[in-house]
Amino acid sequence: MLATSVHSQPGVYALLLGSGVSTGAGIPTGWGVIQALVRRLAAATEPHDPDAADRAAQDPDGWWSDHGDGNPLGYSNLLAAVAPTPAARRGLLAGFFEPSEDDAEAGFKVPGPAHRAIADLAKRGLVRVILTTNFDRLIERALEDAGHYELAADVGPSQRLSVAFAELAAAVRPRTPPAPGPALPGNNATVPSRPRPAGE
């Protein structure tokens, strides 16, 4: 039923993508990144204990409670502990999300079938808004590969979702003319339709 609705009402539906769309491409979930970073931090801070990294990965919250900065475990404080500068953090996270030559040759950390299928939906005009909470850029790469990449907003991960929801709200407003009468702020918003590529 959903597939029929998407085809009969092109551009009406939006997609919200989480880490599951990229796990098949070898990208870890957010929790997987936290586990790996806690493992690294435990190995570095407890080099005398060969089992520290494994114990920390099994219970990252418990390890962080005992060894962290006193705040609940989260990306920001964990990254600050592991990589103190923005450049160091970008470099550290790139290892989780950007493919090495070996990764790319093996088909890891590159757009997979799910990313390509979503890009095809966008190219055909069936989906106009795609929101992602992912740190990886695989959906963007798939859209670029399909020749259909229009970036409305690219913000830091902490702001990505709130901006994405604002974009979604703007995109799904009714496409009807405003009611007669005085124009009120927000009462006459419409969404212009994007021209369809030739052949559709």
pLDDT for res 75: 80
Q: Rounded to two decimals, what is the model's pTM?
A: 0.66
Contact yes or no for 168/129 (Cβ under 8 A): yes
Mean pLDDT, the chain, whole residue set: 77
8 A C-beta contact, residue 122 and residue 146: yes
Q: CB–CB of 63/51 below 8 Å?
A: no
SS3 17: strand
Q: What is the pLDDT confidence band of residue 181, given thresholds at 50, 70 and 90? A: very low
Strand bridging mode 13-17 / 127-132? parallel
Considering only 3-12, 36-45, 191-200, which range has the smallest mean pLDDT? 191-200
Token pair recorded at residue 88: 């160091």
Q: What is the pLDDT confidence band of residue 177, given thresholds at 50, 70 and 90?
A: very low
Helix, strand, coil: what percent of the chain each, to 5?
Answer: 50, 5, 45
96, 153, 159, 161, 173 from 89: Cα distances, Å:
11, 22, 17, 20, 38
Sequence-distant (6+) residues with CB within 8 A of 65 are 73
